[in-house]
Amino acid sequence: QVQLVESGGGLVQAGASLRLSCAASLSNYAMGWFRQAPGKEREFVAAISWSGDTTYYADSVRGRFTISRDNAKNTGYLQMSGLKPEDTAVYYCAARPGTARDYITLYEYLYRYWGQGTQVTVSS
């Protein structure tokens, strides 16, 4: 009965910032963020290891987005800056439990649990 709940999505103008949160009912997990735009397949955005010491970003968001986590709160974050209309999508957080502390992956099929998604819309 693992639960992941995203929050923080909304409608913003291009250039704005937004922080997404992912509250999880589990601990000791690698976390990833993915997004899916209308008519497109879900794509990788960012990932962070259980320890928080290892991160990785898709080329399209590197330098604009920052992934982080607060393990004391079992919560992950995606800080989004310099938002562009092409960032418009439903954003999902995902967890892979039981990994080594510095483990990280960008492969969607390796994540076991997923949140319900939160809509991010960026207007021009």
List, in order, residues 6 or more apart from 1 with CB less than 8 Å away. Answer: 25
- pLDDT at 1 (0 to 100): 84
Residue 75 pLDDT grade (very low, low, confident, very high; cuts 50, 70, 90)? very high
- For the chain, what is the mean pLDDT? 97
Residue 69 pLDDT grade (very low, low, confident, very high; cuts 50, 70, 90)? very high
Question: Alpha-carbon distance 5 to 25, whole Å?
Answer: 9
Percent of the chain with pLDDT over 90: 98
- Per residue in 76-96, pLDDT (tens digit) is 999 999 999 999 999 999 999
- pLDDT at 28 (0 to 100): 92
- Per residue in 28-59, pLDDT (tens digit) is 999 999 999 999 999 999 999 999 999 999 99
Q: What is the CA radius of gyration of the chain?
A: 13
Phi, psi dihedrals of residue 7, rounded to the nearest 5°: -155, 165
